[in-house]
Amino acid sequence: MTQQGAVLQGYNNELVKCIEDLCMQKEELNKQIQQAEEEKSKLQHEIQVLSEQLECVCENLAHKVASRNELDKILAETEAAYMKILDSSRTLLNVLKKEVGSLKHSPDLKMN
């Protein structure tokens, strides 16, 4: 019977050793899970911060694009008005040249 007790004691020791090994594996896995959860939390926070920054940049960009579009409109209107002024100036100059030319041929205003 002592031999069976020794075998049983050997099994018991081996079983205790396996349980201790499983407990150590569980502790290590718990540490890894905790680290992964902390990393996940950190990354989620960074995503939130970056999302907020992206939203601000998008709003800023939208305002700048709207301002640029308004400037494009003002510039186009100004250039069109300036072209009308140039055309009117050319017309005025041509009329003035004709008038001066007709005055030169007038017998009352002979230029020496």
* pTM of the predicted model as reported, rounded to 2 decimal places: 0.59
Distances (CA, A) of 87 to 1, 76, 83, 92, 96: 125, 16, 6, 9, 14
In tens, the pLDDT along 91-101 reads: 999 999 998 88
In tens, the pLDDT along 31-53 reads: 999 999 999 999 999 999 999 99
Structure tokens at 63: 């305002």
SS3 content of the chain, % helix, strand, coil (to 5): 95, 0, 5
The per-residue DSSP string of 95-111 comes to HHHHHHHHHHT-GGG--
Q: How confident is the model at residue 108 (pLDDT cuts 50, 70, 90)?
A: low
pLDDT at 54: 98
The amino acid that residue 85 corresponds to is: I
